[in-house]
A = this chain, B = another copy of it.
Amino acid sequence: MQQLKRLKEIEEELSILGGVRSVLHWDSNTELPRKAAKQRAEHMSYLTSLYHRKIVSEELKNIINFLSEEKNFSKLSKNEKLIVKKYKKDLVRISKLPEEFVKEASKVYSESYHAWEEAKQKNDFSIFEPHLEKVINTKINEAKLIDPKEIPYDVLLYDYEEGMTVEQLKKIFAELRDGIVKILNKIKSSKKYKSQKNFFKTTNCPEEVQRKIVDELFKIIIDDQDRAVLGVSAHPFTTLISSDDVRLTTNYTNTDLITSISHLTHESGHALYNLNYPKELENTILFGAPSIGIHESQSRLWENLICKSREFWKFYYPKLKEKFELVKNMSEEEFYFLSNLVSPSLVRIESDEVTYSLHIIIRFELDIALMEGKIKVKDLPKEWTKKYNEYLGVVPKNDKEGVLQDVHWSEGYFGYFPTYAIGSMYSVMLFNQMKKENKKLMNEIEKGDFRFIKKWLKEKIHSVGSKKLTCEIIKDVCGRDLTAKDYLDYLKEKYYELYGIEE
């Protein structure tokens, strides 16, 4: 079929343009000289428009329509069918958004982003307020244009967590929130919590020591060093340039070794996923993860479940000790405790494993309240403070460390935040399943043997690519749908023991 051949060519071009854009993204964050930011933005926007023009082209639309016709569709292979279906879904959505609307929306987000930057710098929410209102209206309009009968937030979730609904999330997040608040309060009343302050300053780790340890961990997690690069950027991230070229970054600005290690293990989880997408789907729309949440499950799994476990430190702490003088007199057990310290804070990206999801739930609840018109944008700082006080017991001094801390809202990422907590819940469900299938898993970690884990993840998750939705993958692998239970049980078991709490 001529049309199928042409689709493959277009997909290859899209894949190249996407890869080139990723190189520029990587370079912008790791190398770009300060004064070239505007010129780089022009390069990026040119590539984006080349990419966009191909996606919305009449040619692609016609090919997909042609291949979707029953007589043609039936001749396609299994994977080709999935590819055509995915384009069909995406293109129907795109076709609902008039060019005028897309242009206007992109202007709204761009202005809003700059307003947010200024507001954060000046510590003044009122600068951002009118822009955020516009962003929310734009997102609601977008959702209505795509599907006027659906709940707007459900429509928006498609871009980040296809298959998930607000109804499901409200229920699961409420359970998660109540569970974590209960656990947190128990921790806070424990004796150990009250005396943990002494621990805080023990990790003044010089950059070169951080680098040595981080490089070693990178090699432990990523076997094939000829397909991955570790760099340095202000905010750690992972990106896919081509199937054999995955980049991840960390940074060493913080003198806290635990933070460097968390960055590295987190991004390595993402990188492993990127390295293992199914080769037979290379250069297709299905070469990637089906959602942000499942990608996040991989990073959380390595960061928290594996590399913050007692077993992991049994394996790695002796090696770390050789490199880092300062912890010489600290026992393995003390270091394990230190790496899992619970400490409710105002800032999401600095938060510990127990409180992390509360930060997300607050944002999700505010997302929904804003979209449903239950709160007004001008009341956001007040509502933010109220929820932080209620769930975490901390109160921001100002907008900067409160409602203005994240970039997401300014760029219109409504529906993104939940994926962080969804990822955490998936990570425990997957880890539990893994342990069920291999009773010796924790012993293997203790020995620094991660072969089973890597093989299992590759087989069950990574190599599926986007052939299935996340909810389908989870159901297939774990035999269950997303639940907060596994995660809450995991937190209880780990942290009650850590803080000497009797249930």
Contacts and interface: CB of A to CB of B under 8 A. Distances in A.
Interface of A: 13, 16, 19-20, 23-24, 26-27, 31-36, 39-40, 42-43, 46-47, 224-229, 231, 241-247
Contact of A24 (B23, B46, B247): B23
Nearest to A28: B23
Q: Give me the 6 closest cross-chain CB pairs, A-B, nearest first.
A: A36-B245, A39-B242, A34-B226, A36-B244, A35-B244, A35-B226
Contacts of A13: 46
B227 A36 contact: yes
A13 B49 CA distance: 12
A245 B229 CA distance: 23
A365 to B, nearest CB: 41
A239 B19 CA distance: 21
Nearest to A45: B16
Contacts of A23: 23-24, 27, 43
Copies in the assembly, this chain? 2
Contact of A35 (B33, B42, B227): B227
A37 to B, nearest CB: 9
25 contacts: A16-B42, A16-B43, A19-B39, A20-B20, A20-B24, A20-B43, A20-B47, A23-B23, A23-B43, A27-B27, A31-B229, A33-B229, A33-B244, A35-B224, A35-B226, A36-B227, A36-B241, A36-B242, A36-B244, A36-B245, A39-B241, A39-B242, A39-B244, A40-B242, A43-B242
A24 B22 CA distance: 11
Contact of A32 (B24, B31, B224, B245): B245
Contacts of A19: 39, 43
Contacts of A35: 224, 226-227, 244-245
Contacts of A226: 33-35
Contacts of A244: 33, 35-36, 39
Specify which of A13, A225, A243, A244 lies most central, judged by the most chain B CB atoms within 10 Å of its CB: A244
B16 A245 contact: no
Contact of A46 (B16, B27, B32, B227): B16
A224 to B, nearest CB: 8
A227 B31 CA distance: 11
A242 B229 CA distance: 25
